[in-house]
Amino acid sequence: MYLESGFSHFSMKIFTLGYQGLNLQQYITLLEAADVAVVVDVRETAWSYKPGFSKSPLREGLNRAGIDYIHLKSAGNPSKNRKTARTTKECLSRYRRHLLSNPACLDELCNLLHSTKRDGRSICLTCFERHPDECHRSILVTELENRLSNLEPIHLTVETGDRQLVLDTTIQQS
**Does residue 10 contact residue 151 with C-beta atoms inside 8 Å?**
no
Please list the pLDDT of the chain residue by residue as tens digits (174 residues): 434 444 445 689 999 999 999 999 999 999 999 999 999 999 999 999 999 999 999 999 999 999 999 999 999 999 999 999 999 999 999 999 999 999 999 999 999 999 999 999 999 999 999 999 999 999 999 999 999 989 999 999 875 333 445 545 444 444
CA distance 159 to 4: 35
How many CB atoms are located within 10 Å of the residue 21 CB? Answer: 13
> No. of H helices and E strands in the chain?
6, 6
Q: Whole-model pTM?
A: 0.87
Domains in the chain with CATH codes: 13-168 (3.40.1010.10)
- Taking alpha carbons only, the member of 169, 171, 173, 157 closest to residue 30 is 157
Torsion of CA 143, 147, 149, 153, to 10 degrees: -30
CA distance 141 to 136: 9
- Taking alpha carbons only, the member of 102, 101, 106, 97 closest to residue 174 is 97
